Chain A
Amino acid sequence: AQSVTQLDSQVPVFEEAPVELRCNYSSSVSVYLFWYVQYPNQGLQLLLKYLSGSTLVESINGFEAEFNKSQTSFHLRKPSVHISDTAEYFCAASRQGGSEKLVFGKGTKLTVNP
C-alpha cells in the first residue's frame, strides 16, 4: 500500500525567505507525484507534478520540487516566498498503472509573515 508523509504540519517563515516543505512517500511500485495548494475555503489547485524524466520539476510561480528515488522524497522548495504563498500544501502520489486515485499527505500549512 502507498503512503505519503509530510513531516511538518506548520511552517512559518518571513517574506522573501527560502522555504522547503518536506514530503516522503512509501510504495512498492512506481508512482507519480504531485503537489497541490489549497487556499481557505477553496479546492485544491495543482502546483506541479513528476511523471518521469527530469527529476527537477518547476511551477510557473517559482516553486520547484525534486524527485529523489533513493530517499523516496519529493520536497517542495521556493527560494523567496511572498505573503500570497500563505496556504496549505498537499503532497500526493498515484500508483503507476493503478486506478488513478491520489493518496495525500496530511498537509503543511505555510504561513508567510511580513
Chain B
Amino acid sequence: NAGVMQNPRHLVRRRGQEARLRCSPMKGHSHVYWYRQLPEEGLKFMVYLQKENIIDESGMPKERFSAEFPKEGPSILRIQQVVRGDSAAYFCASSPLDFPNQPQHFGDGTRLSIL
C-alpha cells in the first residue's frame, strides 16, 4: 500500500517563476493537507482540501499561493512569482474520513529552493 507520494522531491526555481508541487494521497484517503516547514521551525498549516473543495485555507498567504484537489489526479500547490522567502520544505498529508482515529499520513516533502 503506497504512502503519500509527493513530487518532485527537490525543486529549484528562480525568483519570479512559478512552482507546482504535486501530492497523491494514500489510496482511500479523501482529505489532503499542505504544510510548510521553514528552517528551524515546526510545520505550519497552509490548507485543507477534500475532492474539489477547499475546506480550510486559513494558513495560506493571501497572494501568489493556490491549491486544488481535483476529482481526478493529484492535489497541486501552486506558487506564482516565487520569492526567496518561499524557500522551504512543503509537506502534504492525507487522511481518510475517520480522522482522528485514522491519523494524517505525511509524504517525504518537496524541498523548494529559490535562486
Contact = CB atoms under 8 A, between A and B. Distances in A.
Nearest to B41: A106
Interface in B1-33: 4, 31, 33
A83 interface: no
B104 A102 contact: yes
B91 A90 contact: no
A94 interface: yes
B108 A106 contact: no
12 contacts: A4-B42, A42-B109, A43-B106, A44-B91, A44-B93, A46-B105, A49-B103, A99-B48, A100-B31, A102-B43, A106-B40, A107-B42
Contact of B45 (A32, A42, A103): A103
Contacts of B109: 42-43
A43 B94 CA distance: 12
Contact of A41 (B33, B40, B42, B108): B108
Given A43-B91, A100-B48, A105 B42 contact: yes
A104 B107 CA distance: 16
Given A41-B108, A44-B106, A107-B42, A99 B100 contact: no
Interface string A70-108: 000000000000000000001010100001111111110
Interface of B: 4, 31, 33, 35, 40-45, 48, 55-56, 58-59, 91, 93, 95, 99-101, 103-109
Nearest to A90: B42
A92 B57 CA distance: 19
A36 B105 CA distance: 10
Nearest to B109: A43
Contacts of B104: 46, 100, 102
